[in-house]
């Protein structure tokens, strides 16, 4: 098989890249190790920046998002038992869209299927070859038959644990990582959200987040120990602890119900650089991870896709220079988002072994933030998403 771009990974970044390339007349094949049901079963982010919304519009997959998604003009910070609203729209002229990553993936899958574009699921033993030569290829095993895809370029959209970054020689890549000493326990439940906008809670018992996926489905998180296991947390224990971290009036409004999904995720900041190795390009979680506090993971993957799509569109139009700058352009935005996510995480969480001075500094930072329009604007412009440079 021969194609112009072989895309490894059928998550939202791989599918979005494939959709945009196809709209530009660039042939591509998506190769995914897992089944479609497995891919859709992964519960992930749900806050989309305007740049991501615009990219989904360009890809022609945004109709359902505009019908069912929830535009949010603000976000709340809660500390000292009080809620404080950050007016995103008033401070920046921009808003965010609450629409689950699962739904984004579902829309992209449907569009790819309707267009009859080449997609291989449940591909075993996927490997990338000769990406430092003029003849890169991808091989995989399907139904006990070995297949090879010849391509001009390979897009590694296969996540943090994928084979693309792992295939790069160690001497050619630099890895930067910070692992946080806690995790997030997340619960998805079919109950109305406790608030029409997200609430980020800084509390002496630990961070909490009240989020949502629709007007009838909520996503809640609690900071927990890395040693915790999901089995330790009954639904009742989760709801009781969430109520302890919320202001009394908010806790009284909280509607609870059985969890339809419950999981614990560790938090890390991670960047691999560069993001191009000959004909191989890293995209999304293959190149970077952010703690979810700043709602940047999916949005950073989407901006990578935008930069790579633009570069490949120019390449096939006869302008080869833009593809040389993909890594530098993407990393410039990535490091700013890493900084924001690290700052939000440091501001809102309880750190083990942090002394009273560190706790006082957190409170002073929060007090300053809410007392300064300039500081609130900085938070707001980062939260809604920095422009694509």
Neighbours of 63 (CB within 10 A): 12
Q: Which residue is catalytic, options 203, 262, 288, 296?
A: 296
Q: Which residue is catalytic, options 292, 307, 315, 349?
A: 292
**Is residue 220 annotated as a catalytic residue, yes or no?**
no
Q: Locate 202 and state its tokens.
A: 């800084």
DSSP per-residue string spanning 5-54: EEEE--SHHHHHHHHHHHHTT--EEEE-SS-HHHHHH-----EE-HHHHH
Which of 179, 182, 236, 180 has the alpha carbon at shortest distance from 207?
182
Q: Which residue is catalytic, options 99, 140, 180, 200?
A: 200
Three-state DSSP state, 298: helix
* Residue spans of alpha helices (H) in 185-325: 235-245, 248-253, 297-316
Three-state DSSP state, 81: coil
**Is residue 296 annotated as a catalytic residue, yes or no?**
yes
Cβ contact 232:183 at 8 Å = no
Neighbours of 225 (CB within 10 A): 14
Give CA separation, 349 vs 77, 205, 260, 298, 336, in Å: 12, 9, 26, 22, 20
Q: Which residues contact 354 (CB under 8 A, 6 or more apart)?
A: none
Residue 157 CA to residue 32 CA, distance in Å, equals 10
**Is residue 383 annotated as a catalytic residue, yes or no?**
yes
Q: Which residue is catalytic, options 12, 72, 247, 291?
A: 72
**Is residue 307 annotated as a catalytic residue, yes or no?**
no
Cβ contact 183:263 at 8 Å = no
Which of 166, 163, 168 has the alpha carbon at shortest distance from 126?
163
Residue 240 CA to residue 229 CA, distance in Å, equals 17
DSSP per-residue string spanning 163-207: HHHHTS-GGG-EEEEEEEEEEEEEEEESS--SSSS-EEE--TT--
**Is residue 121 annotated as a catalytic residue, yes or no?**
no
Annotated catalytic residues are 72, 200, 292, 296, 383
């Amino acid at each position: 098989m021969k194609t112009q771009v072989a895309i490894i990974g059928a998550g939202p970044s791989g599918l979005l890249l494939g959709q945009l390339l196809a709209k530009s007349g660039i042939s591509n094949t998506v190769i995914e190790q897992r089944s479609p049901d497995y891919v859709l079963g992964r519960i992930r982010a749900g806050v989309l920046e305007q740049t991501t919304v615009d990219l989904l519009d360009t890809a022609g997959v945004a109709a359902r998002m505009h019908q069912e998604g929830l535009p949010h003009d603000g976000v709340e910070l809660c500390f000292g038992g009080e809620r404080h609203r950050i007016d995103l729209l008033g401070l920046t002229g921009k808003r965010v869209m609450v629409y689950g990553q699962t739904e984004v993936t579902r829309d992209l899958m449907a569009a790819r299927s309707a267009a009859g574009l080449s997609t291989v699921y449940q591909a075993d033993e996927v490997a990338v070859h000769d990406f430092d030569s003029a003849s890169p290829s991808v091989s995989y095993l399907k139904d006990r038959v070995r297949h090879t895809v010849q391509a001009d370029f390979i897009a590694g959209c296969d996540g943090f644990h994928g084979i693309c970054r792992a295939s790069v020689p160690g001497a050619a890549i630099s890895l930067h990582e910070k692992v946080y000493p806690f995790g997030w326990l997340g619960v998805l439940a079919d109950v109305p959200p406790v608030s029409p906008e997200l609430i980020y809670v800084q509390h002496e018992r630990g961070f909490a987040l009240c989020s949502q996926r629709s007007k009838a489905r909520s996503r809640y998180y609690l900071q927990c120990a890395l040693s915790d296991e999901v089995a330790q947390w009954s639904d009742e224990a989760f709801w009781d602890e969430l109520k302890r971290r919320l202001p009394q009036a908010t806790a009284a409004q909280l509607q609870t119900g059985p969890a339809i999904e419950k999981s614990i995720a560790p938090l890390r900041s991670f960047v691999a650089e560069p993001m191009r190795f000959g004909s191989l390009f890293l995209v999304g979680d293959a190149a970077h991870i952010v703690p979810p506090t700043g709602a940047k993971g999916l949005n950073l993957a989407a901006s990578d896709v935008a930069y790579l799509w633009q570069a490949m569109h120019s390449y096939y139009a006869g302008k080869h220079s833009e593809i040389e700058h993909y890594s530098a352009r993407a990393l410039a935005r990535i490091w700013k988002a890493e900084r924001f996510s690290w700052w939000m995480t440091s501001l809102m969480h309880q750190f083990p072994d942090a002394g009273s001075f560190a706790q006082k500094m957190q409170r002073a930072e929060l007090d300053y933030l809410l007392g300064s329009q300039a500081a609130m604007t900085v938070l707001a412009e980062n939260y809604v998403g920095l422009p694509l440079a």
